[in-house]
Amino acid sequence: MSVAYRPDIDGLRAVAVSSVVLFHAFPGALPGGFVGVDIFFVISGFLITGIVTSDLQAKTFSLTTFYQRRVRRIFPALIVVLAATVIVGLRLLPPDGLHSLGKNAVASVLFAANLMLLSEVNYFDIDAHLKPLLHLWSLGIEEQFYLIWPLILWVIPRRQRQIAAIVGLVSSFILNLIMVGPHPAATFFLPFTRAWELMAGAVLVFVPPQSKAVSETAAITGILAIEASFFLFTAKTQFPGWAAALPVAGTALLILSEGALVNRILSLKPFVGVGLISYPLYLWHWPVLVFLQVYLFRPLNDTVGFVAVLLSLILAVLTYLAIERPLRRRARVWQLGAAMSAVGALGLFAAFVKVPDLPIQLQAMLNAPNGIDAWRVHKCMLLDGEDGDFAGCSESKRPLIAIWGDSTASALIPGFRKLQATHEFGISQLTVSSCPPLLVQSHSANPYCLQKNAEIVRRISEIKPDIVVLQAIWDVNDRLETTKPTIDALRAVGVTRIIILGPVPVWRGGLPDAAMAYYRQTGKIIPEWTSQYVDRESGDKIMSDIANQLGVQYVSVRGALCRGNECLAHVDDSLTARDIIHLTRAGSEFLLQKIAPQIGLN
């Protein structure tokens, strides 16, 4: 038994996909456009529950038939987009990016894209905006919903279905509220903390039709709630949490308001037309955006965004007309399954077998040791929010050099270790990611940083180092008044020699990607010294002036790694930075060898 077609829901799909695409292509224009995904969740919950309950009532429901329909609906466009994305990735992405893409392609085939992306969330992961399949996390949640919810509806008595939907909504929403603070990534990606949005749509199936007056009021309230979400929320909004309730409630009100003026507007052909291609448009827009930025090696701007939207629209229309619509009824499930398996095999090939066709020298640079194994992450370099007392992070040798700072300070450890082979001294590593060594509230020091930095000062007072080296991505907003308390505290606990290291060179887009871009554009290895991809302004002069005013020694890292506007890109067949700012082992060893005399290690 089929559910009556509602063109206004296709119009609502158009609103959802347009908001997501605009948010990604022009972030400043629609800061909360990401809630379009939440609109999709509510729509899916409503439609799937309506289809299943209608078929159950008519005694025509079959799990096999249901899943076959889902396969015909989801697989054709997804197969094309996944295959195209992996094939393009084989040509454009560096080894790390290709490995991640391959894994995510396989996870997408297995309906687990959200779980794979969650497993990759860590401080050293590839930037999310460079993952071509990042957007498929939402499809993973929907697919997991398709697998479980119809089965639940099938096995429970008819009178308990509404109760099950309400219980699912309430329990999932509460879990979302409990987890979003301490575990934001898990709350974002897990199906258990997102199920309430789909359940909100499911509950609507059991709500009787409303009067015209109620429908009109609900529709206006709903569209205003959605519009408010678009402009009140930003990428910094804690989400989903309480915030997601606004677009979810707005979407639910619109679905309930069939026949209202707003719904009749959504039923107009332009909205319905975009709604019909919303699925392939959603699938295409993100990889197109990512690959344009990778190929052109430039950050997102309005021009790139416009080209990406236009190209995505063309691909979506072609996919809908030539792939999705013809195969939705005619395709055999086993054929689609075989094609999806082939895409999974292609993903495995990209993840574990295929290496981009690059010169041996460039391959060596990209695969050289990054030195992170020497950072002692989770023990002597704490990640944001981690608890730890730096026990075992200080050696007994003298003189003792304490390195205090953020993750760029941790990146100095391989260089210090190399110096220990020829110089007698001990190391104390006291580093916290994203936390400059500041003791007062500032633009770059949050409460967690202040707490950990206070603990570090107490640790320094106990171990009594001979030298304290301060290193961070110094914020230009951190002036004398925010740095002085750190120096005063160190002097108060008896530290006689304090050295401020200046900021490292900043490689736009990350040095590995810059090396790939240079090779694609010129067919040559990136020069040893280059100014092409490195920022010229680093705050070096500001920090030098602050050190002079505070009466402490200043060592310019940029002065050691750069000559004029050119900075050292590679040394000994290794890149000097593993990303935008973190030095590789080779970069760290080169830097410390260069500045050793200034530190007092002659």
One domain, residues 230 and 374: no
Mean pLDDT of 525-544: 89
One domain, residues 347 and 414: no
pLDDT digits (tens, 9 = 90+) for 24-47: 999 999 999 999 999 999 999 999
Paired residues of 534 in beta bridges: 507
One domain, residues 414 and 306: no
Percentage of the residues of the chain whose pLDDT score is greater than 90: 83
pLDDT digits (tens, 9 = 90+) for 298-314: 888 999 999 999 999 99
Residue 530 located in a structural domain: yes
Q: What is the pLDDT of residue 140?
A: 97
Tokens for 576?
Answer: 């000097």
Backbone angles phi, psi at 571, to 5 degrees: -150, 135
Mean pLDDT of 257-266: 96
Angstrom distance (rounded) from CA 204 to CA 45: 9
Domains: count for the chain:
2
**Considering only CA atoms, which of 69, 66, 40 is closest in space to residue 52?**
66
Paired residues of 134 in beta bridges: none
Angstrom distance (rounded) from CA 43 to CA 369: 48
pLDDT digits (tens, 9 = 90+) for 485-515: 999 999 999 999 999 999 999 999 899 999 9
Residue 215 located in a structural domain: yes
Q: What is the pLDDT of residue 126?
A: 66
Angstrom distance (rounded) from CA 312 to CA 463: 59
Angstrom distance (rounded) from CA 558 to CA 538: 8
Ramachandran area for residue 524 (φ above 0: left; ψ -120 to 50: alpha; else beta)? beta
Q: How many residues does the chain have?
A: 602
- If one counts every other C-beta atom within 10 angstroms of the C-beta of residue 539, the result is 18
Query: What is the widest separation between alpha-carbon atoms in the chain?
Result: 87
Angstrom distance (rounded) from CA 585 to CA 582: 10
* Low-confidence winner among 120-134, 163-177, 261-275 (lowest mean pLDDT): 120-134
pLDDT > 90? residue 446 = no
One domain, residues 313 and 292: yes
Residue 473's domain comprises: 364-599
Which of 353, 383, 417 is at the close of a domain? 353
pTM for the whole structure: 0.90
Tokens for 23?
Answer: 């948010």
Angstrom distance (rounded) from CA 273 to CA 317: 10
Q: How confident is the model at residue 212 (pLDDT cuts 50, 70, 90)?
A: very high
Angstrom distance (rounded) from CA 453 to CA 458: 9
One domain, residues 285 and 321: yes
One domain, residues 339 and 289: yes
pLDDT > 70? residue 476 = no
**Considering only CA atoms, which of 5, 6, 47, 42 is closest in space to residue 201?**
42
Q: What is the pLDDT of residue 1?
A: 39
Tokens for 16?
Answer: 């959802």
Instruction: Assess contact for 324 and 71: CB atoms under 8 A.
Output: no
Q: How confident is the model at residue 478 (pLDDT cuts 50, 70, 90)?
A: low
pLDDT > 70? residue 96 = yes
DSSP per-residue string spanning 531-599: SSSB-S--SHHHHHHHHHHHT-EEE-HHHHHEETTEEE-EETTEESBSSSS-B-HHHHHHHHHHHHHHH
Element (H, E) at 406: none
Sheet holding 467-471, edge to edge: 381-382, 426-432, 400-405, 467-471, 497-501, 553-555
One domain, residues 368 and 347: no
Instruction: Assess contact for 137 and 116: CB atoms under 8 A.
Output: no
pLDDT > 90? residue 121 = no
Tokens for 598?
Answer: 């200034």
Residue 223 located in a structural domain: yes
One domain, residues 402 and 332: no
One domain, residues 483 and 561: yes
Instruction: Report the relative pairing of strands 529-530 and 566-568 from DSSP bridges.
Output: antiparallel
pLDDT digits (tens, 9 = 90+) for 392-406: 999 999 999 999 999
Angstrom distance (rounded) from CA 382 to CA 371: 16
The three-class DSSP label of residue 471 is: strand
Instruction: Assess contact for 257 and 215: CB atoms under 8 A.
Output: yes
Which of 333, 353, 373 is at the close of a domain? 353
One domain, residues 577 and 453: yes
Q: What is the pLDDT of residue 480?
A: 81
Sign of the alpha-carbon torsion through 330, 335, 337, 341: negative
One domain, residues 343 and 399: no
Q: What is the pLDDT of residue 539?
A: 82
Which of 332, 353, 374 is at the close of a domain? 353
pLDDT digits (tens, 9 = 90+) for 160-208: 999 999 999 999 999 999 999 989 999 999 999 999 999 999 999 999 9
Residue 1 located in a structural domain: no
Residue 359 located in a structural domain: no
Tokens for 167?
Answer: 């219980």
Look up residue 43 and give its amino acid.
I
Element (H, E) at 391: none
Residue 387 located in a structural domain: yes
pLDDT > 90? residue 328 = no
Mean pLDDT of 537-543: 82
Q: What is the pLDDT of residue 4?
A: 85
Place of tokens 């509510």: 42
CATH number of 427's domain: 3.40.50.1110
Residue 358 located in a structural domain: no
Q: What is the pLDDT of residue 400?
A: 96
DSSP per-residue string spanning 227-261: HHHHHH--TTS--STTTTHHHHHHHHHHHHTTTSH
Backbone angles phi, psi at 186, to 5 degrees: -65, -40
pLDDT > 50? residue 458 = yes
Instruction: Assess contact for 7 and 272: CB atoms under 8 A.
Output: yes
Residue 515 located in a structural domain: yes
One domain, residues 556 and 527: yes
Instruction: Report the relative pairing of strands 574-575 and 562-563 from DSSP bridges.
Output: unpaired
